[in-house]
Structure 1
Amino acid sequence: MKKTKEKNTRGRKAEDTRNELKDVLLSFFNQNKNRTFTAAQLRRKLALRSKSSEDALYDALFELERNNTLAHLKNGSYKLKSSSTTTITGVVDHVNPRYAFIVSEEGGEDIWVNTSSLKGALDGDTVKVAVYSSSGGRRKEGEVIEVVQHKKDEYVGTIEILTKYAFVVPDNKKMYSDIYVREENIKGAKEGEKVLVKITQWPTENRKPEGEVIQVLGRAGEHNTEMHAIMAEFGLPFDFPERVVEEAEKIDEGITHAEIAKRRDFRDITTFTIDPADAKDFDDALSVRKLENDTWEIGVHIADVTHYVKPDSILEREAYRRATSVYLVDRVVPMLPERLSNGLCSLRPNEDKLTFSAVFEMDKDGKVLTEWFGRTIIHSDRRFSYEDAQQVLETGTGDFADELLLLNDLAKKLKEDRFKKGAISFETIEVKFKLDEKGVPLAVYPKIRKDAHKLIEEFMLLANKKVAEFVYKMRKGESRNTMVYRIHDFPDVEKIKTLSTFVKKLGYSLNADAKKVSSSLNKMIDEIEGKPEQSVLQSLAIRTMAKAKYSTETTGHFGLAFKHYTHFTSPIRRYPDMMAHRLLQHYLEKGKSVNKAEYEEKSRHSSDMEKVAADAERASIKYKQVEFMQNAETRPFEGIVTGVTEFGIFVEMIETRCEGMVRMSDMDDDYYDLDADNYRVIGRHTGKIISFGDKVMVTVKDTNLAKRSIDLEFVEAGKKTPKTPKEDGKRRNKRVQTIDDEGELDW
């Protein structure tokens, strides 16, 4: 009994000491509201010398942290939380299982948040974050205080079935928690199948998300299953609703004399299309006619989709919802039903077709003398593939050789004029696959852009530019007509400076001055052409650029060096082009300016859906690249280091254009530290350096189709320096620029 009383007495004394310390700590932190302190610093500041008082300190700190009075920062220090703490709203970028960044809607520095402080928020969710300034000048840290909106509630993954329940392992690389599924919600899915699961209970700090299977996609690893999985992952529709198809089928395909009478007739003028060999929807055509004054009439004719798709119709609403066609490796997820995209609106040869046209009178130097915009009717004389047209350009013989050679000459002059005015000459390398009848990739090769591609591109750019200028100049000031523009902001100055510093280390120069950055970028691009580092340096340069988007504000297009630019030339596959057609016709008919807020919201939606489409397309390419490398022969591949992180080194294999990662944990010749500022890792003992842009030899260690990832091993890597660099080698919790699947351009 005596021992029990003594124990209770000691316990009460410890509790009293802890409570006293809590009061002392609160007073101390209130006097130092904007400062951070480690436990050791607090022990010295408060003159705590005994072991018992040290234990009480840690207990007091733990309780103050638990009741949200103190924040325990990443570096081990503590800081007072208060009502004056900065709160921001942003989007979760869950970069790895340990932590995430919150990207603020207002811009500025991203906020570091430990995964345990996410309050169950998932990648892409919009959250409110309490922000705390960390000590030592490091980046800001914070914790989620509210999940404002979940980005999505459906995930694709592979199901693992246990006795009374199952787990779905998500395909999404940034979803680090399996989804728990109760037995009654498995819905007949079998072990190892790909499923679509809907979240029914969101995760908390101590609990996994819970969901129910809503669709079984098929056996994981099968071509059709994986393509359907990618479509489901990005919320892409598998087919059109029945009522949409029915409305499309009811459209009368006949062209009446009354309709022709409303239009400018180009049916007797030489006209042709140039498209990929496997294309089925031809939404643009070119006409050529020589005029008496030694000039040329060039017509850019675009499928008149809005003649068939009426405002507020079922077809219109579905087109807006999709906003864009999506081009996966083996299929197209179209914006419009096939009857429209491949039939009524497709400018097929030897058929009368309704079009919306931009017609230019041009001299031999490529200067536009006059312009005309309006609805037309055409009759295409020939359907060229890019290869067919290229052969004519190279040989000077064949169908419409004179017209093609003229157009090519004018296109080169248009391009030359663009570059004189500051356009950027990015030529991104895209990959294409040869698939067998089951969808298995037999080969992967880069798409080659030749003069035939560039010819079409220049005239589409001209039409888009001139339509935008025409609408912009129709009225002035506050009464200016609302239009949907394609805009591309000037790149972030700090990013350009960072890129300039980096490329200098590789022997190139880049002037970050606003007036010289365009010409300097073009000079660098010319210098790296044909070199191994061309692809990754271009990708890195593109990543410094702002993302092009749609807006009713015409702030200009930096990449093209156009003050005004729109998307007018692809209404079969892009909803913004349909908006541009409607608005142009409305203003040609002397209509008043439309509601700007309404079209700004439509522009935002179109930009968002464009991002979804691009992500889905990259996912399908990545999947096929992984599948191809899975079946490729086991041998060394030459590669280029395309990114460095604290957990691994990204390498793009030059021959196959496939990217994989050499994990730090697999590099057993030394322990490597990340030098994020210089895009490299450094061996602690050997001083060996592996940097962005290095040529390396790798072999494929493993492939994971579910995660769409390739693990590599170095055969030969890095280079030795005379001595180990002076950096202290501590790993930094800092995002590093990596060239992943997002290095592409769409203007």
Structure 2
Amino acid sequence: MAREMGLKGARRAELQETLDQLVIEGRLFEGRRGHYALADRKSGYVPGRFSATTGGYGFVAPTRDIPNIEGDLFIPPDATADAMHGDRVLVEIVRVKPDGRAEGKVRSILHREQSLVVGRFHFSPHGCRVEPHDERVKGEIEIEPGKELPPASFYGERLGKVNPPRVSKPSELDGLIVTVAIHEFPSRYRLARGRVIEVLGREDDFGVDVEVMIRRYHIPYRFSEEALEQAKAIPEEIPEAEIVRRRDFRELPIVTIDGETARDFDDAVLVDHNDDGSWSLQVHIADVSHYVRPGSALDRDARQRGTSVYFPDRAVPMLPAALSTGICSLNPGVDRLVMSALLTLGPQGELRKADFCRGVIRSAARMTYTKVFRILEGDEELRAEYRELTPGFERMRDLAKLLMAKRRKRGAIDLDLPEPEIVFDDQDRMIGVKRSERNIAHRLIEELMLAANEAVAAHLLAARRELLHRVHESPSPKSLAELEQVARSFGHSLGLELRERTIQRSRKRRDGSKPLREVRLSADSGLDSRDLQRFVDHIEGRPEQRILSFRLLRSMKQARYSEINKGHFALAAKAYTHFTSPIRRYPDLVVHRALGAWLDGADGPSTEELAAIADHASMTERRAVDAERALMDWKKAKFMEQRMGDEFEAMVTSVAEPGMWVELVDLFVEGFVPVESIEGERFGYRENLRAMVGRRTGRKYGLGDRVQVRVDRIEWDRLRPELTCLGPWKPGKPA
């Protein structure tokens, strides 16, 4: 190529650097003898991120949509090319099945993500090794002789109250959790090699679990010095010259409503009911874009993080505290800059007009969900304390109910599933797990934010502005067919017509090859979100509601960010975006910039820039969710370790050949019952019943059944308790 273009010296080196960067980005594939090819579907090569599993196989999430291919690409164990979990790879598509699922082979590793690995140190005079904490990282890591002790500069910096032990010789590291920098990556014939760069402490030390998850999921937690200097240089007071440029809302009774432990306040609201029956909704969002300029050190750090990450006892913020809990946070009684959405809605909540502007507010009160709920429930003491604000809360509730009804009428799916919440004592020790409380105060803020987000998306689209969309595509026919089968086992239906035919199992079972009912569904299921919401309404209040709601959630695709508008299936919205949380979500900051560019008559972000941001933001969102979930599972596993041998009531939530998955009814803890741990007789899985069936008596354990279980051990590689099923649950049994 250089010869054809007549490039020599520095120009030739520049060409090589550009080609190398395009390979890293997954746009080109480097073949043999210096040949390059476009990495697209037509060439058979697709870039993506590799996700390893404990079974040796993996999946690759493509960085862009691939026509006629559904979901991630399956990578067999012998086709991973020694890729590690999280690596960016280039995959050759080798097979596409009729249902759109594809199988691939890793052809090259574009970027190694796992250069830092956290794990348990094992000392030996013959050579030290580190066992990775993440079971998806295969094999131990050999520690180079003389590289067992970390550099002194790596001691001390932690997110929370962790005080790691000081060590002076390698033997003192035995059993401690450390961070390793990999210098030589593993191959089929050798282990990875590296050096210890950080000592986190003992696994049971307070706060070590959070530090482990931060490093395991590669969450950036150190701000650059330049970003910290920029944050420090921002004045704590807003200049008068900036205030006069904006619309002044400081005299209005605008409030924030958040959780008890929240410290960063993105949004503030005000609702008025007009004489003609219409509604005026003001949603004021922290104007982070005023302080975080594109390309600045603050912007680079925020973009890299993508989102704040929230753990039960602390958070990893997207922005330094000087902004996130300081000048950007809509704290009460102080002037704050905002981007304002001023919506006029009809008597039934329909949007009539939307105006947007830069503003300044002074929050009248920092309210909590609990206080607002109690006020709305008639708490006389609180209603007296907030007598001037109480009518506003009632108007918010009334408008939220209208908006909720309007969304449900158009087909928005409302599962409202509870989330687990860790309970701590006053010494920060975990003492239990409970279902997090959700009440009308939570719902009213959600509805007002949804209305603002939709209005911003519709406005920017109408103005022909490029923006970052929040998209949610419809479920695949296959996932809906599986949900229909489960629903029918409880006597319900989504309304799907399933065409079935009998096929023969290709894999032998103990009792020989058995016929299996396989469901074939046409490409267009004919269902829309209204059908699914009717199903949700139908199962409400029934014993199987929780199981079927979770099954419905799992049948749907993940919402993500995109530069292309594809609508939002679950919200039944033609267009949707994220605008209301720029302190903790980078996409919201990008949308603020697009709206600000429209206000100024300037150019906003380009499509190419938005595409890159969308891919990265979707990845950081998944990373945060995975880290938060893994930390929650670890804490629950540690808690259940103290309950070894105890018996509990549990509900069967899933059944397959290996065994049953159950949820402990009072603890919000999930566990696994291996088929051989079901007492009484030998059991086997019956696919047509989706149940375990006793081979002697025919006793059946299926979805929704209540059973008595005993905690036997903790599966630390999967962070869950392993249980024995003692039999059907009978009220009055000890728990």
TM-score (norm: length of structure 2):
0.79
Q: State which drifts further: 187-196 or 343-352.
A: 187-196
CA distance in 2, matches of 1:192, 1:451: 48
Aligned residue for 1:194? 177
Rate the CA distance shift 1:565–1:364 in 2: closer, same or farther, 3 A: same
Aligned residue for 1:252? 235
Please give the secondary structure, in 2, of the residue aligned with 1:319: helix
In the TM superposition, 1:31-42 aligns within 5 A as: none
2:489 to 505, 508, 511: 505
Rate the CA distance shift 1:222–1:637 in 2: closer, same or farther, 3 A: same
- The CA deviation at 1:635 is 2.9
> Which amino acid is the alignment partner of residue 171 of structure 1?
H
Q: Does 1:465 align with 2:454?
A: yes
In the TM superposition, 1:414-563 aligns within 5 A as: 414-474=403-463, 480-512=464-496, 516-563=527-574
CA distance in 1, matches of 2:74, 2:338: 52
Q: Does 1:236 align with 2:237?
A: no
- The CA deviation at 1:242 is 3.1
Q: Does 1:410 align with 2:431?
A: no
1:573 to 559, 566, 584: 584
1:392 to 362, 367, 375: 375
Q: Does 1:379 align with 2:368?
A: no
Aligned residue for 1:265? 248
Aligned residue for 2:122? 160
Asked if 1 retains the 8 angstrom alpha-carbon contact of 2:271 and 2:395, the reply is no
Gaps of 5+ in 2: 1-42, 150-169, 497-523, 731-735
Name the larger-Rg structure. 1
Aligned residue for 2:259? 276
TM-score (norm: length of structure 1):
0.78
Q: Does 1:654 align with 2:672?
A: no
Rate the CA distance shift 1:215–1:678 in 2: closer, same or farther, 3 A: farther
Rate the CA distance shift 1:89–1:695 in 2: closer, same or farther, 3 A: farther
Aligned residue for 2:161? none
- The CA deviation at 1:440 is 2.2
Rate the CA distance shift 1:653–1:354 in 2: closer, same or farther, 3 A: same
CA distance in 1, matches of 2:49, 2:62: 7
Q: Does 1:324 align with 2:307?
A: yes
2:597 to 586, 591, 599: 586
Q: Does 1:401 align with 2:390?
A: yes
Please give the secondary structure, in 2, of the residue aligned with 1:223: coil
Aligned residue for 1:621? 632
In the TM superposition, 1:668-679 aligns within 5 A as: 672-674=683-685, 679=690
Q: State which drifts further: 284-293 or 676-685.
A: 676-685
Q: State which drifts further: 499-508 or 527-536.
A: 527-536
Rate the CA distance shift 1:689–1:152 in 2: closer, same or farther, 3 A: farther
Aligned residue for 1:67? none
CA distance in 1, matches of 2:129, 2:673: 29
> Which amino acid is the alignment partner of residue 484 of structure 2?
S
CA distance in 1, matches of 2:309, 2:425: 21
- The CA deviation at 1:520 is 3.0
CA distance in 2, matches of 1:505, 1:140: 30
Q: Does 1:207 align with 2:190?
A: yes
Q: Percent of counterpart pairs with the same letter?
A: 34
Please give the secondary structure, in 2, of the residue aligned with 1:184: coil
Please give the secondary structure, in 1, of the residue aligned with 2:575: coil
Rate the CA distance shift 1:185–1:684 in 2: closer, same or farther, 3 A: farther
CA distance in 2, matches of 1:415, 1:541: 20
Rate the CA distance shift 1:356–1:102 in 2: closer, same or farther, 3 A: closer
CA distance in 2, matches of 1:99, 1:308: 45
- The CA deviation at 1:523 is 2.9
Rate the CA distance shift 1:296–1:531 in 2: closer, same or farther, 3 A: closer
Asked if 2 retains the 8 angstrom alpha-carbon contact of 1:198 and 1:214, the reply is yes
- The CA deviation at 1:691 is 3.2
CA distance in 1, matches of 2:81, 2:317: 38
Could you report, residue by residue, the CA deviation over 1:96-151 in whole angstroms, capped at 9, with x for unpaired residues?
Answer: 446556677743587766635544333444354584799xx9x9877656545544
- The CA deviation at 1:705 is 5.5
Asked if 2 retains the 8 angstrom alpha-carbon contact of 1:482 and 1:593, the reply is yes
Asked if 1 retains the 8 angstrom alpha-carbon contact of 2:93 and 2:102, the reply is no
Could you report, residue by residue, the CA deviation over 1:573-628 in whole angstroms, capped at 9, with x for unpaired residues?
Answer: 01111111111010122224542111110111111100100011101111111122
- The CA deviation at 1:370 is 2.5
Rate the CA distance shift 1:633–1:700 in 2: closer, same or farther, 3 A: closer
CA distance in 2, matches of 1:109, 1:254: 49
Instruction: Name the structure with the higher helix share.
Output: 1
CA distance in 2, matches of 1:147, 1:673: 42
Q: Does 1:599 align with 2:610?
A: yes
Rate the CA distance shift 1:422–1:446 in 2: closer, same or farther, 3 A: same
> Which amino acid is the alignment partner of residue 590 of structure 2?
M
Could you report, residue by residue, the CA deviation over 1:507-556 in whole angstroms, capped at 9, with x for unpaired residues?
Answer: 22113475544233223323433444333322221111111111111110
CA distance in 2, matches of 1:152, 1:519: 43
Asked if 2 retains the 8 angstrom alpha-carbon contact of 1:690 and 1:718, the reply is no
CA distance in 1, matches of 2:102, 2:260: 52
Please give the secondary structure, in 2, of the residue aligned with 1:395: coil
Asked if 2 retains the 8 angstrom alpha-carbon contact of 1:87 and 1:128, the reply is yes
Rate the CA distance shift 1:574–1:128 in 2: closer, same or farther, 3 A: closer
Q: Does 1:369 align with 2:358?
A: no
Asked if 2 retains the 8 angstrom alpha-carbon contact of 1:92 and 1:127, the reply is no
CA distance in 2, matches of 1:93, 1:674: 29
